[in-house]
Structure 1
């Protein structure tokens, strides 16, 4: 398992990260604990969660359950020090948490304390803001994205306010590093600039959607990542399961994500399955497993810190972890680039 730097923190994270957004819904607690055991034994040292998890669906009564399940594993095993733990502070608009209040110095301390209690730990290695208060072009909002209603001064003042609160949490030992999620190049640049000016926690990573099917990161954010040493934590590297091929020809396996979320968060569209077919064809012609090809490809990107995968079953977990042994030839990479040009934004 390859290790990559987590920004300039001095921490190193495995090239694959165990995502936990199904812990407590599709993945029962006992199975979730077995997944953590197995992933760590396979060389994964990175586990990602969020206060709002689990999803599929997001419900008020299950909010925090994924963190609680990780917490019971921590308490049972005493192995908290064996891995890097990341969680997230939900942003403005999620009514299930703090009545949808925006992220600010008024919310950060109590929210971190809540996560620490559920996770049964004294510290969080990477604390991330789940999405910006000002909104985001992620989750298919890029098609109609319009930042003209933003108030620049308010945004920057809130960033300074949050950075001061984060520094207080670092000083207390509650968090070790700070990351962003669903952020833009401009937003990340401002967090970096303001942190440097204030001597506050520097952005270590950005957790944005990234896969063969969703490559919005490839331009401005890629440049920022490389030059500022802010690695990408790619979520949905399998495009919500589409790249496995399991949804081709209208198939909807029982218990799958599509059976719970038919539109796959806006990914199910008229151009989706033709693009998937081309990637499946590349894998078949080169005798590659398509899931492992998709994950291995993420590892070739120059800005990648870790690709976050989720598994609802032990069999899926074993299958996914096989990606660490896959090396893609120049020919495969060229064919992937050709397919991307043919299907640049399938959803």
Structure 2
């Protein structure tokens, strides 16, 4: 894998980013260290985390992933300088009272304090890419299908959020800023306000992108392309749906250790929808018909998309990591891509 410039920045990153939200819940610290070591050994230099991790979120594991990463840095002298590190400040509480006491608004003081806390956990002086994990305003996200103006309320403005992030840039605590789980409006407005007021410009957007959730293709791709914002999508395997692990017994197989099978709350989210599983089975069968594993086809779909700068993968073992990295370089024929689009035309984006 050759390194590439992330958006318009000086950051040089691998086209595969290691997401770490499993560390501290499904993955213990020794295994996390082994995964991190192997990823770097194989050319991955881009790591993504968040103050909220691990997932599924619990009060007991809030910040646990950053702590693990911080210990890894501490035990690997010089490693921090070798990698590009991304983290996130959580948006409004969303029913998590352990996040800023359940505050419904992400205030500038929250952003400043959250960054300081992340820096301590990560045992570093600077975060290369600091992202807002989800919108502070009323906006459809995490499986919400529609915007509802009846849910409008007062919230800290985009301008004030950018000013707080600008303070962190000036203080040398972060280098660049990004968004996550954002809408086309949100991306465009963040860029507009930044340019109008001389504030930090959004470098990246981290949204889901996979065969069962191609929301990026619904207009966000045009916005990001025209505004020069890089896409670093997550869940290229649709929370495991696109590996084939749920094809035969669904989500209730007691022997399946995948997140949707293991954690009941995951079954209630977009990835656990029956329609999402039905669509995944179609794509998985298509992969096998073309002599590919479901995992390889799903990853290649993201790896080779012009929309994607770096794909965020999440793993729980060295075997999964190697499988995901080995898929790099796989190409999909025009005929196969046409068959993928035919399924999408029929089933749309059931995990959006």
Q: TM-score, normalised by structure 2?
A: 0.92
Q: Are 1:122 and 2:125 an aligned pair?
A: yes
- Cα displacement (A) at 1:162: 1.6
Report the 3-state secondary structure (helix = DSSP H, G, I; strand = E; otherwise coil) of the residue aligned with 2:91: coil
Give the aligned partner of residue 149 of structure 2.
147
- Cα displacement (A) at 1:148: 4.7
Give the aligned partner of residue 137 of structure 1.
140
**Whole-Å Cα distance in 2 between the matches of residues 67 and 334 of structure 1?**
41
**Whole-Å Cα distance in 2 between the matches of residues 219 and 109 of structure 1?**
33
Per-residue displacement from partner, 1:274-310 (whole Å, max 9, x unpaired)? 3122211221122112112111111222221221111
- Cα displacement (A) at 1:264: 6.1
State whether residues 283 and 290 of structure 1, in contact with CA within 8 Å, keep that contact through their aligned partners in structure 2: yes
**Whole-Å Cα distance in 1 between the matches of residues 296 and 149 of structure 2?**
37
Per-residue displacement from partner, 1:164-187 (whole Å, max 9, x unpaired)? 221111111100000001111111
Distance 1:3-1:342 versus aligned 2 partners, 3 A rule: farther
**Whole-Å Cα distance in 2 between the matches of residues 269 and 129 of structure 1?**
26
Give the aligned partner of residue 58 of structure 2.
59
State whether residues 233 and 306 of structure 1, in contact with CA within 8 Å, keep that contact through their aligned partners in structure 2: yes
**Whole-Å Cα distance in 2 between the matches of residues 192 and 346 of structure 1?**
29
**Whole-Å Cα distance in 2 between the matches of residues 9 and 295 of structure 1?**
25
Report the 3-state secondary structure (helix = DSSP H, G, I; strand = E; otherwise coil) of the residue aligned with 2:269: helix
Q: Are 1:96 and 2:98 an aligned pair?
A: yes
Q: Which range moved further: 190-199 or 275-284?
A: 275-284
Q: TM-score, normalised by structure 1?
A: 0.94
**Whole-Å Cα distance in 1 between the matches of residues 123 and 292 of structure 2?**
40
Which runs of at least 4 in structure 1 moved beyond 4 Å after TM superposition?
none
State whether residues 226 and 302 of structure 1, in contact with CA within 8 Å, keep that contact through their aligned partners in structure 2: no
- Alignment length, in residue pairs? 342
Report the 3-state secondary structure (helix = DSSP H, G, I; strand = E; otherwise coil) of the residue aligned with 2:33: helix
Give the aligned partner of residue 177 of structure 1.
176
Q: Which range moved further: 6-15 or 20-29?
A: 6-15
Distance 1:270-1:59 versus aligned 2 partners, 3 A rule: closer
Report the 3-state secondary structure (helix = DSSP H, G, I; strand = E; otherwise coil) of the residue aligned with 1:177: strand
Q: Which runs of 5+ in 2 are unaligned?
A: none
Give the aligned partner of residue 33 of structure 2.
33
Distance 1:8-1:148 versus aligned 2 partners, 3 A rule: farther
Give the aligned partner of residue 346 of structure 1.
350
Distance 1:264-1:37 versus aligned 2 partners, 3 A rule: farther
**Whole-Å Cα distance in 1 between the matches of residues 7 and 115 of structure 2?**
21
State whether residues 136 and 182 of structure 1, in contact with CA within 8 Å, keep that contact through their aligned partners in structure 2: no
State whether residues 75 and 120 of structure 1, in contact with CA within 8 Å, keep that contact through their aligned partners in structure 2: yes
**Whole-Å Cα distance in 1 between the matches of residues 134 and 169 of structure 2?**
21
Q: Are 1:267 and 2:271 an aligned pair?
A: yes
Report the 3-state secondary structure (helix = DSSP H, G, I; strand = E; otherwise coil) of the residue aligned with 1:342: helix
State whether residues 240 and 257 of structure 1, in contact with CA within 8 Å, keep that contact through their aligned partners in structure 2: yes
State whether residues 260 and 272 of structure 2, in contact with CA within 8 Å, keep that contact through their aligned partners in structure 1: no
State whether residues 13 and 305 of structure 1, in contact with CA within 8 Å, keep that contact through their aligned partners in structure 2: no
Distance 1:4-1:303 versus aligned 2 partners, 3 A rule: farther
**Whole-Å Cα distance in 1 between the matches of residues 256 and 286 of structure 2?**
27
- Cα displacement (A) at 1:150: 2.9
State whether residues 237 and 298 of structure 1, in contact with CA within 8 Å, keep that contact through their aligned partners in structure 2: yes
Give the aligned partner of residue 309 of structure 2.
305
- Cα displacement (A) at 1:63: 0.5
- Cα displacement (A) at 1:2: 4.2
Give the aligned partner of residue 15 of structure 1.
15
Q: Are 1:47 and 2:50 an aligned pair?
A: no
State whether residues 181 and 207 of structure 2, in contact with CA within 8 Å, keep that contact through their aligned partners in structure 1: yes
State whether residues 24 and 68 of structure 2, in contact with CA within 8 Å, keep that contact through their aligned partners in structure 1: yes
**Whole-Å Cα distance in 2 between the matches of residues 271 and 163 of structure 1?**
38
Give the aligned partner of residue 212 of structure 2.
213
**Whole-Å Cα distance in 2 between the matches of residues 69 and 145 of structure 1?**
37
Give the aligned partner of residue 324 of structure 1.
328
